[in-house]
Amino acid sequence: MTASDPPGGLTYPAPDGGAQDMAAVLRRNIEAMRAQRRREEETAKPGERIAERITRFTGSLIFVYVHLLLVAAWTMVNLGAAPGLRPFDPSFVILATVASVEAIFLSTFVLISQNRISALADKRAALDLQIDLLAEYEITQLVKLTTAIAEKVGVDVRRPEIEEISREVAPEAVLQELDVDAGPGSRDADRG
């Protein structure tokens, strides 16, 4: 190993055919993910952005503390424990109404945010599946190539596990098998 070699000796083929430091590849991938997240945020509709901000705030401790203070003050005033202030909601009906309306709106904002997050997660899962299928195909091709080289140099590689991993996987067959395993009581079956 020379001083010009990347740390740990990890390299990755660069577009020009040379070697590239693995850390540089990781940085490139991380930056690509950040850019994708920025694009996703930029394409969010104004209502989705507002719902996300509200959801983020309502999921914070500041929100909890503000509500504790407001409810405590409301309670003290309406129980007559705050000198100089007249009770305005002695039966706490207004407080219950305000809390109910707030809960309706907050749950709606949370659902909007969750729907957006779910859509993004579905997109990422589809990307993961595509990458996994590509990796499976590439590995299968490498096994076939390695087997051919081994046979050419006279190494006996006829073993069941080698033959098994040399076969290409048909994604449709896997999905069909998963559907059979899921059975009629599964969540996916309930959608139809």
The full set of domain ranges for the chain reads 10-43, 44-183
Asked whether residue 66 carries a pLDDT value surpassing 70, the answer given is yes
Model-wide pTM > 0.85: no
Tally Cβ neighbours within 10 Å of residue 55.
19
What 8-state DSSP symbol labels residue 168? P
* Cα separation, 63 vs 71, whole angstroms: 12
* Cα separation, 119 vs 111, whole angstroms: 12
The per-residue pLDDT for range 22-45, each reduced to its tens digit, is 678 788 888 888 998 899 889 889
